Amino acid sequence: MTTVAPDETFDATFAEQVEPLRREIMAHCYRMMGSVHDAEDLVQEAYIRAWRAFRGFEGRSSVRTWMYQIATNVCLTALEGKKRRPLPTGLGQPNANPSAALDQRTEVPWLEPMPDELVWGGQSADPSDDVISRDSVRLAFVAALQHLNPQQRAVLILRDVLAWQASEVAELLDLTTAGVNSTLQRARANVAKLDPESKPELPDDEHRRDLLKNYVAAFENYDVTKIVSLLSDDVVWEMPPFLGWYQGPADVGTLIKTYCPATDGDSQRLLPTWANGQPAFGLYMRDEAGVYQPFQLHQLTITEDGVSHVVCYFDTDLFPRFGLPEVWTPEAAIAG
């Protein structure tokens, strides 16, 4: 008869009860931090703390609630003294002149996109069955959260996203129930200003698939007129780490004509991916040697009226994080 060592039993029990929560804890830390890199580090720290404390877990709450308590505290500690992570539209300046010089600020800790793979694992299950809803990690919502102070951020996420009771949040954050309710009221008001109700995004249907196919074709043919025709009348285009943001199809068209280094219909190639539950593309630009090199990552919001928001991340370090290849090749395009 084989005897199972106590430590092996402990590790197996921990893995069985706690490991299945890792993806939703990752989403929670990302909402709090606005950074995938920070969230991954903090998930790791939360799991180390949980493993060390697991023998003393008394079951007064569910393991899931216990893990969220640990992760929230880890995030709140990490946020002490940290600057918020904005997008250009969140800095308070008006939309920019598309013909004016670009102002790059690499020192700003910009909001990062989150690969769907990290929280859904590439699964194609019915979104209604997901523990993590697409709306709860939608880029505009996460961007709005970054404008709240850490306590407000935690309260709003715990109450409105995770549906905790006010008394549970009060116990975790060492507040009164009245304090939680007033904090939540202020947080909701601030988020409503920054992420107001807008037109619903298109579901994954033939209309959206056709629009995305046309978006790819327009860029790969360097057809600016076609690109502009796919944009909604109130489209917003922003490009961290550049400070400017642009509104309206005409301005976006001028911006592309002025600053896009493409020269012809063979200059650009796109590969699909997903970020924050939204369609995204890695854009590759042909260099002098004819090799298509990573250039920028496009993250799209699509409504019935067309592409309503594009965030172009000029950060090629994002490409491997999204599983995108080092260079574009015909084989990569077929695989994509």
Residue-wise pLDDT for 203-213, tens only, equals 778 899 999 99
Strands ordered across the beta sheet of 231-238: 245-247, 231-238, 306-313, 292-303, 278-286, 268-275
Q: Mean pLDDT, the chain, as a whole number?
A: 92
User: CA–CA separation, 276 vs 200, rounded Å?
Assistant: 15
Q: Which of 36-40, 54-58, 152-156 has the lowest mean pLDDT?
A: 54-58
Q: What percent of the chain has pLDDT over 70?
A: 93
User: If DSSP codes are grouped into helix, strand and coil, which group holds residue 137?
Assistant: helix
Which of the pair, 11 or 189, is modelled with greater confidence? Answer: 189
Asked if residue 268 lies in contact with residue 281, where contact means CB atoms within 8 angstroms, the answer is no
> Could you tell me the domains of the chain?
1-82 (1.10.1740.10), 206-335 (3.10.450.50)
Whether the predicted model's global pTM rises above the 0.95 cut: no
Confidence category of residue 130, pLDDT binned at 50, 70, 90: low
Amino acid 6: pLDDT: 56
Using omega within 30 degrees of 0 as the cis cutoff, is the peptide bond preceding 320 cis? no
Average pLDDT in the 245-273 region?
Answer: 97
User: If DSSP codes are grouped into helix, strand and coil, which group holds residue 213?
Assistant: helix
pLDDT digits (tens, 9 = 90+) for 105-126: 999 999 999 999 999 985 544 4
User: CA–CA separation, 140 vs 136, rounded Å?
Assistant: 10
